[in-house]
Amino acid sequence: MAIKFSRTFLLRKLHQLTGVVPLGVFYFVHLYTNSTALNGAKVFNDHVGGIHEMPYLLFIEIGGIFLPLLFHSVYGILISAEAKPNVMDYGFARNWFYLFQRASGIYLFFFLMFHILNFRFGLVPGLNMTPVAGNADKAYGIVAGEFQITWVMAIYILGLLATAWHLAYGLFLFAVDWGLVIGEKAQKVTLYGCLAFALMLAVVGINAAAAFVRPCGLLPSSMCEEPRLTTPQGSTRF
């Protein structure tokens, strides 16, 4: 007997899948590249340069990041519009988590538009006008310049917190919905694991952002490779 899937079911599954692969995988790579700033401007710029030397980069960006991001965001906004938060009626943690998932998704939609226009394309009037693409040697200086502005840094910290929550709790929802963890106890353990994972993503993300303001970020400078050689503006002192 042939099994029939409704269009909504397939779109929901595709929405969950695009959140984990490729977007979740991309974020890991991105967090790694940003964390290389702990070791100074040159190391970060070299890593960004390495990405820009990849063959077929434009196709990888369009197919692996921009299109999945567009589908995930637009369909996510449609789901959020249908959501009926009930935290006032039932104050259970899972109801709050449900609300945070949607709120962080909506914030990320606007944050990512700003972030990509700002750094990738250098197109936010009044802010940085140099695209990182094609200027990898200036990448650290571009980010560090923006992070000197308090409100820009605040938007990024919120973006890093929203991403940490959205990705980690999204993984939990994915694991439950795809039948990877069945049973109350297994789901409870997975939930705690995902909450710890959210905390780790938030700490690593904020530390990477701090590395554009202070050498070695929030860590003691003895833990990084010669970060003292780099000024916050990205020039290197020898």
Among 11, 17, 20, 51, binds ligand HEM (CB under 6 A): 51
Q: From the list 12, 13, 30, 42, which residue makes contact with ligand HEM (rule: CB under 6 A)?
A: 30
Determine, following the binding rule CB under 6 A, whether residue 41 of this chain makes contact with ligand HEM: no
Q: Where are the alpha helices (DSSP H) in 83-183?
A: 93-115, 139-147, 150-177
> How far is Cα 97 from Cα 172, in angstroms, rounded to an integer?
11
Q: Residue 87 in contact with residue 99, Cβ under 8 Å? A: yes
209 lines the binding site for ligand HEM (CB under 6 A): yes
CB of 112 to ligand HEM, least distance (A): 6
Omega of the bond prior to 131 within 30 degrees of 0, cis?
no
Exposed, middle or buried by CB within 10 Å (0-12, 13-18, 19+), for 82? Answer: exposed
**In this structure, are residues 22 and 117 in contact, taking their beta carbons and an 8 Å threshold?**
no
* Per-residue interface string for the shown chain with ligand HEM, residues 136-175, x marking contact by CB under 6 A: ---x---x------------x--xx--x------------
State the sign of the Cα–Cα–Cα–Cα dihedral 216, 140, 54, 197.
positive
Pick the closer one to ligand HEM by CB: 51 or 79: 51
Asked if residue 71 binds ligand HEM (CB under 6 A), the reply is no
Nearer of residues 169 and 181 to ligand HEM, judged by Cβ: 169
* Footprint on this chain of ligand HEM (rule: CB under 6 A): 27, 30, 34, 48, 51, 61, 65, 69, 112, 115-116, 119-120, 132-133, 139, 143, 156, 159-160, 163, 205, 208-209
